């Protein structure tokens, strides 16, 4: 798997990713100097190359003079995500993606989830984006820190979470207004796919559905943007529970 760009590659060395080798264009840039120093510490093979070689290897075309080859992304188990909340001694805070197919949306959600302090993300194995090079690039290093579990059946996983007394909330256009909805305690948020949103059966399994207000002529938000808005409303309610 190829990870490109100074910030994403730098974050690899502070997470759990295994970097096999680095391609570097010689530069006086302090970020690249830092990456080289961390690579030397971890005994990662460094290949100093011309920009033309990195251009051939690049996925996005935005390598910024540094490109890392890593092992394939290591998915977590749902149990790892559940244990994360116990370790932090905080209520569960989980994101479930119901059919997100665009790796750029997945990467953006990974970044937002990590910034929001979520325990992890659950995605489906079928008809859904996986953690690819493109998703890792967009995550801007968050892929090295956020847990992502891949499951065969999203609905079965929702049932398991509910059995563990975790409230499961769908975010969709036909829900109750989010700003009047209580979103505290152990919670899992379901974000639907780019086309059809949260699937009807999945929505029925959820404890409730919430919606974000829209005031323009377009009646829905991009999935990653909607996810960010919902996550930070949950944070607001947790931080100011009496308001």
pLDDT digits (tens, 9 = 90+) for 127-164: 899 898 888 888 888 888 899 999 999 999 999 999 99
> Is the pTM value of this prediction over 0.85?
no
Is-contact 7 34, C-beta < 8 A? Answer: no
Look at residue 16 in the predicted model and tell me its pLDDT: 65
Query: What CATH code would you report for 78-239?
Result: 3.40.1280.10
Any idea where the domains of the chain sit in the sequence?
A: 2-70, 78-239
Which parts of the chain sit beneath pLDDT 50? none
Look at residue 92 in the predicted model and tell me its pLDDT: 96
CATH of 2-70, one of 3.40.50.1360, 3.30.70.1560, 3.30.1330.30, 3.30.70.360: 3.30.1330.30
Look at residue 243 in the predicted model and tell me its pLDDT: 58
Token pair, residue 53, equals 């070689």
Look at residue 3 in the predicted model and tell me its pLDDT: 83
Point out which residues pair with 177 in neighbouring strands: 211
Look at residue 56 in the predicted model and tell me its pLDDT: 86
CA 227/CA 192 separation, integer angstroms = 9
- Residue 40, classified by CB atoms within 10 Å of its CB into exposed (0-12), middle (13-18) or buried (19+), is exposed
Look at residue 137 in the predicted model and tell me its pLDDT: 81
């Amino acid at each position: 798997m190829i990870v490109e760009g100074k910030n994403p590659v730098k974050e690899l060395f502070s997470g759990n990713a295994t970097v096999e080798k680095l391609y570097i264009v010689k530069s006086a840039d302090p970020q690249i100097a830092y990456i080289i120093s961390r690579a030397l510490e971890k005994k990662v093979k460094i290949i100093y190359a011309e920009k033309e070689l990195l251009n051939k290897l690049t996925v996005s075309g935005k390598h910024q003079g540094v490109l890392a080859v890593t092992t394939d992304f290591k998915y977590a188990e749902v149990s790892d995500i559940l244990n994360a909340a116990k370790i932090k001694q905080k209520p569960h805070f989980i994101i479930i993606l119901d059919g997100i197919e665009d790796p750029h949306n997945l990467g953006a959600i990974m970044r937002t989830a990590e910034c929001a302090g979520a325990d992890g993300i659950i995605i489906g194995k079928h008809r859904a984006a996986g953690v690819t090079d493109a998703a890792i690039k967009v995550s801007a290093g968050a892929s090295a820190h956020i847990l992502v579990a891949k499951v065969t059946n999203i609905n079965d996983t929702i049932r398991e979470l509910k059995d563990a007394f975790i409230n499961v909330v769908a975010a969709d256009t036909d829900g109750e207004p989010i700003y009047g909805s209580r979103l505290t305690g152990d919670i899992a948020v379901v974000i639907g796919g780019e086309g059809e949103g949260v699937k009807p059966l999945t929505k029925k399994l959820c404890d409730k559905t919430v919606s974000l207000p829209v005031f323009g002529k377009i009646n829905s938000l991009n999935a990653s943007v909607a996810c960010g808005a919902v996550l930070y409303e949950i944070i607001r309610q947790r931080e100011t529970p009496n308001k």
